[in-house]
Amino acid sequence: SLSPLNLFFQAMEREVSAAFDRGEPEDILSRAFKLTVTREDICTLQPLGWLNDRIMNFYMGLLVERSKKEGYPAVYAFNTFFYSKLSSASHKGVKKWTKGVDIFKHDVILVPIHLRTHWTLLVVDLREKTIKYFDSLGQRGDHICETVLKYLEEESREKRNIELTASEWTLHSMGTEEIPQQNNGNDCGVFVCKFADFISRDKPIIFTQEHMPYFRRKMVWEIIHQQLL
């Protein structure tokens, strides 16, 4: 039966296939958040592709955009270069990144992290005073949580002259039994995007590895249309 939903999915499938198959690598398929996404970038969303910084940052932009709507927690997302700069140059090195922004006025801060060949996600929940680390390969990131807490302390002191009380904060690396895990070497970027998607809606994380092929195709559509489904 060709319900409106089925017709929509068919159109979506055609569009996604066209994005992968036709045209030149440098064709621009989407532009927003001061980012330009080319066909070459979009092709990292093909099965087993490695998501690149542009795709990750664009998707984070979509999540932040959605969070401005009624009924969503207020979300701030750092870009994928923030954490490596912070860990090499401490607060001084990233002080200007939040110029004109009070990150403490948000509910949730997303920090996508690129560890050489692996994507992970750190989430600060300012409502709960928690810092949680999400790794779809199950590695712990306690030192990463600590680095970000130290950053928050310095940012708070510098930007609003308020001392954070570190002892009030809970830092936690999510265990393999708490969050879904990937069973290949390619899907970490998609896991990070979907962790961020569910968290930025205050939803429990219930997807699995099996959803990845669908999530990849959905993300192509969402990036091209600059809207989350």
Annotated active-site positions, please? 118, 135, 188
Strand partners, 134: 121
DSSP state of 51: P
Helices (H), 22-169: 39-42, 53-66, 82-94, 142-160
**What values do phi and psi take at 77, rounded to 5?**
-125, 130
Give the separation between CA 9 and CA 6, rounded to whole angstroms. Answer: 5
Q: Of 67, 29, 48, 31, which is closest to residue 40 (Cα–Cα)?
A: 29
The three-state secondary structure class of 61 is: helix
Give the separation between CA 85 and CA 93, rounded to whole angstroms. Answer: 7
